[in-house]
Amino acid sequence: MRPGPRSRRHHAGRWRVFARVERFTEPALLLLLRERPGHGYDLLERLPELTGEQRVEMGNLYRLLRALEEEGLVTSEWDESSPGPAKRRYAITEQGAQLLDQWAEALRRSQERTDRFLARYDERR
Amino acid sequence: MRPGPRSRRHHAGRWRVFARVERFTEPALLLLLRERPGHGYDLLERLPELTGEQRVEMGNLYRLLRALEEEGLVTSEWDESSPGPAKRRYAITEQGAQLLDQWAEALRRSQERTDRFLARYDERR
DNA sequence: TCTTACATGTGTGTTTTACACATAGAGCAG
DNA sequence: CTGCTCTATGTGTAAAACACACATGTAAGA
């Protein structure tokens, strides 16, 4: 029953504190797809450019892509032309691009909040 | 069954996208307590200085404070001297201050990630 | 033939957050 | 002195987000 290294609780020196923006995978996928279309496995490999050390779990990635499609934020089609196993190739829609814009604004607001936090933290360090 | 406004999914124009750092309340509490001790209700009112629009849910706040205490990050004692209902007055410990330092580092790394994201977003806007 | 890389998925548990409600002291308006 | 609001602390539980484990199949190369 010991909490793992990414558990909610952390003894000061023992476990790693890892600050993440929640649902960051969603805007990351939209940005990658705005740059160019791609399939799940491809996106899985391109994601670390944006998410860094925190790798995205593949099971949830495929589920997220289908959820995005259900909402009309991306579209997909089977690509059997290219070699290897069949791939589902995703592309961003106009709606998806608009949501990405909203995410960018939201992320800027989040940056400001964290900036204020860090400034206040540094004040009395 | 309609998802609420803070649901996981958002149609581009309809629902609000809200980027938050997960478990941000924890470092926020530690910072407030490093500045001066205080009780739950007091912290609930001071938190918006750090968290902004996203208000913290009081039920979870009290649970979080007790969890922090269990781990030795804060201490508490009943204060019945001051007027009104009895308050549980929390103070940060050395361990708590150390964890806050780790959070600050983690938040800076998170800022860098988001900066990279936004720079890449702006590139091809 | 076996292993590895590519590729897509399901099932389920844990963690984090949201929502709803319970309890009680104290001050004040009527 | 009754009801109302503000202060103050909590519990119960559901939903959302995320992690971990595993299943399935193609294709290429040792």
pLDDT per position as a tens digit, A1-33 = 333 333 444 545 556 799 999 999 999 999 999
Residues of chain B with Cβ-Cβ distance to A114 below 8 Å are 21, 107, 110-111
Q: CB atoms < 10 A from the CB of A90, how many?
A: 24
Q: What is the mean pLDDT of chain A?
A: 89
Distance CA A42, CA B30 (A): 40
C-alpha closest to that of B41 among B65, B21, B17, B11: B65
pLDDT per position as a tens digit, A62-102 = 999 999 999 999 999 999 888 888 999 999 999 999 999 99
pLDDT per position as a tens digit, B61-120 = 999 999 999 999 999 999 878 877 889 999 999 999 999 999 999 999 999 999 999 999
Footprint of strand D on the protein (CB under 7 A): A 4, 6, 20, 22-25, 54, 56-60, 83-85; B 3-4, 7-9, 22, 39-42, 58-60, 62-63, 65-66, 82, 84-89
Per-residue confidence at A121, pLDDT binned at 50, 70, 90? very high
Distance CA A124, CA A94 (A): 47
Q: What pLDDT was estimated at residue A54?
A: 85
Length in residues, chain B: 125
Q: Which residue from B minimizes the CA distance to A21?
A: B21
Distance CA A2, CA B13 (A): 43
pLDDT per position as a tens digit, B3-34 = 333 344 454 455 679 999 999 999 999 999 99
Q: Do A8 and B27 touch (CB under 8 A)?
A: no
Q: What pLDDT was estimated at residue B5?
A: 35
C-alpha closest to that of B42 among B33, B31, B51: B33
Q: What pLDDT was estimated at residue B125?
A: 73
Q: Do B114 and A116 touch (CB under 8 A)?
A: no
